[in-house]
Amino acid sequence: MSSWIVIQTFFRRELEVSKFLSQKQVPHFIPMHYREKPTADGHMHRSLTPIIHNYAFVENVLPAKQMKNMLSDCAVPLRLLTDKETGQPSEISDRDMFEFRTLCDPQFDTKMIITDAPQDAEVGKEVEIIHGHFAGIRGRLVRKQKQYWFVKTFAGISVNLRITRWFCRPLS
């Protein structure tokens, strides 16, 4: 089963890293969403932009040494996110990455927040979504300011999705 690693770049150059990885034919993912900006003539221009800046998720298709060598050829400064205890690159399972990619679908138009967050920063009940677009995804159900949020956290990134609690089944 494959896994994914997280690359951090600087100065909002994640799209340049994506271009580099595409040229090397390395599977990767950058969470994107549609953003609207007014133009000079007053119309709204809709464009696809990164949700979180300075991060790219790369499928771990090469041995660690080859991956580091390949990334060192990139003209953009970057670093691998590593586990603080082991010093090894933080790995994300293929299943977790599938869920993350599903949650970050730019076609899904709902209230969602993606942030840098420490692991397990949110305390809440473990749940599985049982209805709708995200059925089968597991995370935590958290109540904030009288609203329910589904929270999925891994590798220091947290996806918070506004959801009704009736769409979730407790795991325990």
How confident is the model over 67-86, as pLDDT tens digits?
999 999 999 999 998 888 88
What is the CATH topology of the domain spanning 1-92?
Alpha-Beta Plaits (3.30.70)
Question: What pLDDT is recorded for position 122?
Answer: 53
- pLDDT above 90 (res 7): yes
Question: What pLDDT is recorded for position 89?
Answer: 85
Mean pLDDT computed over every residue of the chain: 85
Q: What average pLDDT score do residues 22-45 get?
A: 90
Domain ranges of the chain: 1-92, 110-172
How confident is the model over 54-69, as pLDDT tens digits?
999 999 998 888 999 9
pLDDT interval class at 29 (50, 70, 90): very high
CB contact set of 122 (below 8 Å; sequence gap of 6+): 140, 142, 151, 153, 158
- The whole-angstrom separation of Cα 99 and Cα 139 is 10
Same-fold call for 1-92 versus 110-172: no
57: buried, middle or exposed (CB in 10 Å: 19+, 13-18, 0-12)? buried
Helix (H, G, I), strand (E, B) or coil at 20: helix
- The whole-angstrom separation of Cα 45 and Cα 136 is 35
Q: How far is CA 7 from the centre of its chain?
A: 11
- The whole-angstrom separation of Cα 51 and Cα 34 is 9
Beta strands in the chain, from DSSP E residues, in sequence order: 3-9, 28-29, 32-38, 44-50, 55-59, 78-80, 91-93, 112-116, 125-129, 138-144, 147-154, 157-162, 168-170
Question: What pLDDT is recorded for position 159?
Answer: 84
- pLDDT above 50 (res 114): yes
Residue type, 156: G
42 or 4, greater pLDDT: 4
Identify the CATH number of the domain defined by range 110-172: 2.30.30
pTM of the model: 0.70
